[in-house]
Amino acid sequence: MNIYSVINIDLVKSRKIENRIEIQCKIKEYFLKLNNKYDNLLVSPITFILGDEWQIVIRDVKESYNIFTEIKLFLHLSNLDCYCGIGIGTISTNESNDTREMDGDAFIYAREAINIAKKSNRFYNEVIHTKDCKLVLKGNHIDMTRSHNNQLLVNESDTLLECAVTSTEDDNISLGLIDIINNIMQNNEMIENKFTDKQIDIISLYEELGSYSNIEKEYPNYTKSGISNKLSASNYFLTIYNKKVISKLLDIYAYTLGGEYCGY
């Protein structure tokens, strides 16, 4: 069975953006580059579906968060922010070159996810627990506290678990894999949203050039110690590890649903 990821992204307060037409053209040009870069992953070209909202359908579920963070960085460089809903599941129609001609669980979950991401009142939002995150993942619930023979995998009286649970009235603890992934993504978003512009500049150079030495060679005003200090202060390397964990868990989730396990 094929498992897909549908990624819906919408600009925050898009109608209040100055030079909106110019921004839309810039985004469309960027999407052309992404279409070429991820040609082997995309089911169809990235499609505008509702106003300033666009949709991405990919075959390799584990790349969902990586693609979102890449787009988020591009938007940030233009002082733009976005909501994102990721849905994982099957597609009930044939694959098409236009995302609007496809349907299925993955599309339904993506729509539900972005609607949750857009909820402004975090107090009543049971999925997002920080103001620093506008991203939600949805899919079939897979209970990680029970094995296939319905035996508990987590001891409900475990001290760590007791500390984490705020309500003592919950006798039946259900920890879903989607919940775990959402939690890690929210923590990662919280870290990345605290990046300063200078830290983002260094991170971009490091990811482009690959080493401190190469940055220092191309940009003599930067020193290895200065680069190292900025990357460490930003917790950049923790975000990289978080992304690896998220990708691995997404891969496992897709496999559990019946898809192909890609591994690393």
Domain residues for 56?
1-140
The predicted structure's pLDDT at residue 262:
61
Helix (H, G, I), strand (E, B) or coil at 133: coil
- What pLDDT shows up at residue 120? 63
Contact in structure between 196 and 136 (CB atoms under 8 Å): no
Strand partners, 135: 84
Q: What is the pLDDT of residue 102?
A: 94
Pair (43, 157) in one structural domain: no
What are the strands, taking DSSP E only, across the chain?
Answer: 4-11, 47-50, 53-58, 82-89, 135-138
Which two tokens mark 218?
A: 């191309």
Say whether both 133 and 147 belong to one domain.
no
> What pLDDT score does 48 carry?
87
Same domain flag for 94 and 134? yes
pLDDT along the chain (264 residues), means of 10: 95 82 90 95 92 92 97 90 96 93 96 89 59 88 65 44 46 77 95 94 95 96 95 97 97 86 56
Q: Are residues 112 and 30 in the same domain?
A: yes
214, 227 in Cβ contact below 8 A?
no
Residues 103 and 166 in one domain: no
Q: Indicate whether 203 belongs to any domain.
A: no
Are 129 and 83 members of one domain? yes
The residue behind tokens 């460089």 is: 77
* pTM over the 0.95 mark: no
Tokens of residue 254, six digits: 């897709």
Helix 197-209, helix 64-76: angle, nearest 10: 130
Q: How far apart are CA 195 and CA 203, in angstroms?
A: 10
Q: Please check whether residues 128 and 25 belong to one and the same domain.
A: yes
φ and ψ at residue 152, rounded to 5 degrees: -65, 130
Give the integer Cα–Cα distance in Å for 192 and 196: 9
Question: Distance (Å, rounded) from C-alpha 199 to C-alpha 157?
Answer: 43
Residue ending a domain, among 174, 193, 217, is: 174
**Sequence-ordered list of residues with C-beta below 8 angstroms from that of 228, at least 6 positions apart, any chain:** 212
The pLDDT value given to residue 77? 86
Q: Specify the pLDDT at position 244.
A: 97
Domain-embedded: residue 164? yes
Task: Compute the distance between CA of residue 93 and CA of residue 44 in angstroms, rounded to an integer.
Answer: 13
Q: Are 49 and 21 in contact (CB under 8 A)?
A: no
